[in-house]
Amino acid sequence: MIFGKEKAGTAVNLTEGPIVKNIILFAIPLFIGQLLQQFYNIADAWVIGNFADNNAFAAVSSSGSMTFLIVGLFNGISIGGGVVISKYYGAGEKINVVKAIHTNFLLGIISSVLSTIVGLALVPKILIWMNTPESVLPNSLQYFNVYFAGVSTVIMYNICMSIMRALGDSLRPLYYLVLSSIINVVLDLLFVAVFDWGVIGAGVATVIAQGISVILCLIRMCRQEDYTRLDFRSLHFDKEMMEEVIKQGLPTGIQNAVISIGNLTVQTNINGFGSYAMAGVGAYAKIEGFVFMPIMSMSMSLPTFVSQNLGAKKIDRAKKGSLFGVLFGMLTAEIMGVIIYLISPQFIKIFVDTPESVAFGTIHARVTALFFFLLALSHCAAGVLRGCGKAFIPMATMLAFWCGVRVTYVTSILKIIPEFKMISWAYPLTWSLSSLVFLIILFKMDWNKLFNPKNIK
């Protein structure tokens, strides 16, 4: 591989400079990106809620667990690829950075094909298994068929974003997301409000908008003027690098998929309370998405920061950045949780106007909102551990509690106390247990025995 002329580009070195400033500046574009993503998710929900019926809204608003079940597996692997890229970049190993970038991209192409096939084949069966009400089922089938036919746009955007973020560039993916968000809202209004395509219109708008963001990412990545440039001629199967990427990413992918199974079980029990419960919780999920923004922007920043600094053998810097990231995530999440607790009914009414749906959504909000600091602790701690190359630990912890305990609790408690509120308590319970385990692991971990780039083939 012949390296091109090196030039100041999008790659950012997080191993130097003020720790807090570096993390915040890196996280801000991710936060704004999360904000834009949430706004256009809200636009989807608002358009469907105001220009279609309650069944259509229930179908689209309750789709998160289903899409994450399949897409989450492959997106988790892309996170592992980002950790590998960051470590080699921090260690200054240019040849391995090039290999890792192209291996991750090739894995994204393979993942896209598999996701499309698996999604289209399994969705009808899963919807029936979830006890989806007959009034909602046709809309759900239509939406998911469109979504998974174009799911490659979602996966490839996450792959490209993962690569760019691993190199320290969290800004340009934000620009592309701004444009795609605007396009998504415009197409939503056109397809649903004007053309009256219903849930099909919402699905088509999402696929087109996401596809445009992928194209923009590819143009930028292929125009890089240094060794981080994406060159399609360099795409080939590198066994050792592929094994390294999968080793780092597969635990997160499995974690995402299995946790989604747990959430699908919860959603199945929510479905059992009818379409109003589905719509109410779905509307609340749009509001809850705002809480995830500071949590996810920080949990996505920490693996890059930690892995780059461990690659550069700056252990104390990695530890200090981790502590700040976890505390910052917890504080911001809890502030937003208090706000949501106080005014959740008003927020929910933005999306649904039926009193029954608002009541279900408010019950769910009032149970979960004050425990968001625990959700943030778990996600940010998991980000730190992934940056340390210990992806198996978050996987095992979250599978045990966010899937195993959550499913056991919900299926058992409803037999004893058949009230909707008892479903909602599954979340604070499992967040508490996972947070306790993460705290114990982080305090006992020997940072001096972590990543050494020379140990990676």
pLDDT in tens, 64-98: 666 766 677 777 777 777 878 888 888 888 899 99
Give pLDDT, residue 3: 36
Residues 353-368, mean pLDDT to the nearest whole number = 90
pLDDT band at 40 (very low <50, low <70, confident <90, very high): low
What does the block give as tokens for 255? 């974690």
Give pLDDT, residue 441: 93
Contact 227, 6 (CB under 8 A): yes
Residues 308-319, mean pLDDT to the nearest whole number = 88
3-class state of residue 349 by DSSP: coil
Residues 375-384, mean pLDDT to the nearest whole number = 93
Residues 410-432, mean pLDDT to the nearest whole number = 93
pLDDT band at 177 (very low <50, low <70, confident <90, very high): confident
Query: Rounded distance, CA 345 to CA 338, Å?
Result: 13
- Residue 56 reports pLDDT greater than 70: yes
Q: Which helix or strand (DSSP H or E) is residue 229 part of?
A: none
Residue closest to 450 by CA, chosen among 325, 317, 295: 317
- Residue 314 reports pLDDT greater than 70: yes
Give pLDDT, residue 129: 75
Residues 348-373, mean pLDDT to the nearest whole number = 90
What does the block give as tokens for 55? 């069944």
C-alpha gyration radius of the chain:
21
Cα atoms in the Cβ-side hemisphere of radius 13 Å centred on 350? 17
Give pLDDT, residue 401: 93
- Residue 33 reports pLDDT greater than 80: no
3-class state of residue 3 by DSSP: coil
Q: Of 65-69, 232-236, 358-362, which has the strongest mean pLDDT?
A: 358-362
Q: What is the mean pLDDT of the chain?
A: 83
pLDDT digits (tens, 9 = 90+) for 116-171: 898 888 888 877 877 777 777 888 888 888 888 998 998 898 889 888 888 878 78
Give pLDDT, residue 236: 82
Residues 6+ positions from 377 with CB-CB distance below 8 Å: 326, 329, 330, 431, 435, 438, 439
Query: Rounded distance, CA 158 to CA 138, Å?
Result: 29
pLDDT band at 455 (very low <50, low <70, confident <90, very high): very low
Q: Which helix or strand (DSSP H or E) is residue 278 part of?
A: helix 275-311
Residue with tokens 């950045």: 321
